[in-house]
Amino acid sequence: MSKVREVEAPPSKSVSHRMVIGAALGVGESRLANVLESDDLKRTMDIMQACGARIERLGEGLYAISGVAGTPAGGFEEPVSCYVAESGTTCRLITAVLAAGLGRFRVHGAPRMHERPIGDLVMALRMLNVGVEWDGKTGYPPIIIDTNGMPGGEVNIGMDESSQYLSGLLLAGPLGKTLTINVTGNKVVSWPYVGLTLKAMEDFGHRFRVEMLEDEAWVEKDWRTIRNVVPGKTRFVVKPGIYHAGDYKVEGDWSNASYFLGAGAIGPDPVRISGLRSDSLQGDRAMLRILQDMGAKVEVEADAVTVHPSKLRGITVDMGDCPDIVPTVAVVAAFAEGPTTVTNVAHLRIKECDRLAGPAAQLAKAGVRVEVHDDGLTVHPAGRESIQAAAGTVFETYGDHRMAMSLALLGFAGVAVELDDPKCVGKSFPGFWRKWARVTA
């Protein structure tokens, strides 16, 4: 009988960002437990501290945070420097939150961050009469925010590129007068991440309504039941309020657990990942469904999942709600029988790297043909035994943490996975390689 490999899921990156921001905006001191300690979270914490919050590390993943009582403090002659490095989550959430502050802020990052668009969010803030100027290329960071607070009113925001624009406006909404946010654009991507934002807002005591247009009338809906968001027919009404201090714990991360879930399906031994809530709102919980659709044997407990080595088959899957696990699915698909096609993820081209072209190019080095489409990709596997790479092959991560962790799965085909930048996993999962050894040793 195969030995079951045991791994604990790291704290959720997405939830950690939202809880740190909420506590830093609050009145009084909050205690946050199980916070992810990664490069991206350091950026969020550093910015909130620069804007007046006090953050004290009490132990591993444990923080005491005294908030700014709803008003991030900017500069008046020189803007406060808000360096986001390569954290898109930090950039988009913080940009909206800082617009509810007082003074001047400069949001800037690493070179790749200055190639990732933020124009739709800036246009929305300008609709609310917040001063935002480009400090480089129009439509992209860096930007200068000059604000006297979030005035409230009505604003439109599209979700074609990212759900984080909406999440940022939602987090900022309670800090001003009543704010109505209309979802516009052509499509909605990454909707489950909005659910994580709404859950965080509820945890901190905020009031809001989610309404959908039915028969020319706005009807309030339970946001937990919403699965299909139609642009032009969905809006959010956020009431003024304060972020209440309290004690909060961050749940485990389904995104970063995806590599271990995949390892269970294609590796030699079952893998049990603990610390995962089976009722989580995280969109990347879809990894379970995808593996099951591919034929994997999965056992689900209240706070853990076990995946068993299985004979996998190719599938066609819409991953618009869970784009971060596309690189994982692409590598797992290389071990399946028959092609796997991923759709509705055109926005992956503007992530830390082009997460359509990147997996295709690197899987090709291991003998796997990947066809890239306008909105997705198709993996054409030729059998596990055909997954091979020449001695000395170096796989490129493009500095992208999700590329590095997903490519590690090629090792289960006997490929010596040498990465050009293995340390880039520190962006979201600094302990990845130590935990990865538990399923490969």
Q: Which residues are catalytic?
A: 324
The span from the CA of 421 to the CA of 291, in Å, is 28
Question: 161: which DSSP letter?
Answer: S
Q: Which residues contact 230 (CB under 8 A, 6 or more apart)?
A: 188, 212
Helix ranges (DSSP H) in 320-366: 326-333, 357-365
Could you write out the DSSP letters of every residue in 49-92? HHTT-EEEEEETTEEEEE--TT--B-BSSSPEEEE-TT-HHHHH
The residue whose two tokens read 């990156």 is: 13
Residue 400: which H helix or E strand, with range? none
Residue 21: closest CA among 164, 117, 149, 138: 164
Q: What is the total residue count of the chain?
A: 441
Helix (H, G, I), strand (E, B) or coil at 15: helix
Helix ranges (DSSP H) in 130-248: 164-172, 191-203
Question: 193: which DSSP letter?
Answer: H
Terminus-to-terminus CA distance in the chain, angstroms?
Answer: 17
Q: Which residues pair with 8 in a beta bridge?
A: 274
Residue 309: closest CA among 300, 293, 296, 328: 296
Q: Which two tokens stand for residue 413?
A: 């085909």
Report the relative pairing of strands 29-33 and 62-66 from DSSP bridges.
antiparallel
Q: Which residues pair with 274 in a beta bridge?
A: 8, 304
The span from the CA of 126 to the CA of 169, in Å, is 12
